[in-house]
Amino acid sequence: MLNIVMQTAPAPGAGSLIAQIFPLILIGFIFYFLIFRPQNQRIKKHRALLESIVRGDTIVTSGGLIGKVVKATDDELVVDLGEGTKVKCVRTMVADVRGRPEPANDAPAKKKTKK
């Protein structure tokens, strides 16, 4: 009789299934917001940066070469490294864009008046 009672009684400390799975779900949310989401945002910014490269931009490749874009196509860039040295670079190997020329400010400057 004691054997039957011991088999049907729940084990001490054994909670419901939801209470056991909740910590795993909580860890999943933490990983998503601290690791996966920021990484996806960085990837989107880098893709937008790669798509916005035009002729005249100064770029840095992932190999560390710095040069000015002479010609830009869909997949490749022709980069002038200086002294007439031109190389072809795959667009996805660009790490950063430096010295992007700013558009000219055509609006007249406002004069400050003293009161």
Domains along the chain with CATH numbers? 19-98 (2.30.30)
Give me the amino acid identity at 92.
T
Does residue 87 surpass a pLDDT of 90? yes
pLDDT digits (tens, 9 = 90+) for 59-85: 999 999 999 999 999 999 999 999 989
Does residue 15 surpass a pLDDT of 90? no
CB atoms within 10 A of CB 60: 14
Does residue 28 surpass a pLDDT of 90? yes
Does residue 6 surpass a pLDDT of 70? no
Rounded mean pLDDT of 17-21?
A: 87
Question: For the CA atoms of 46, 50, 55, 59, what is the dihedral angle to 10 degrees?
Answer: 50
Say how far apart CA 24 and CA 18 lie, in whole Å.
Answer: 10
More confident position, 18 or 2: 18
Rounded mean pLDDT of 17-25?
A: 89
Report yes or no on whether pTM surpasses 0.75: no
CA atoms within 13 A on the CB side of 76: 5
Say how far apart CA 75 and CA 91 lie, in whole Å.
Answer: 6
- Arithmetic mean of pLDDT over the chain: 84
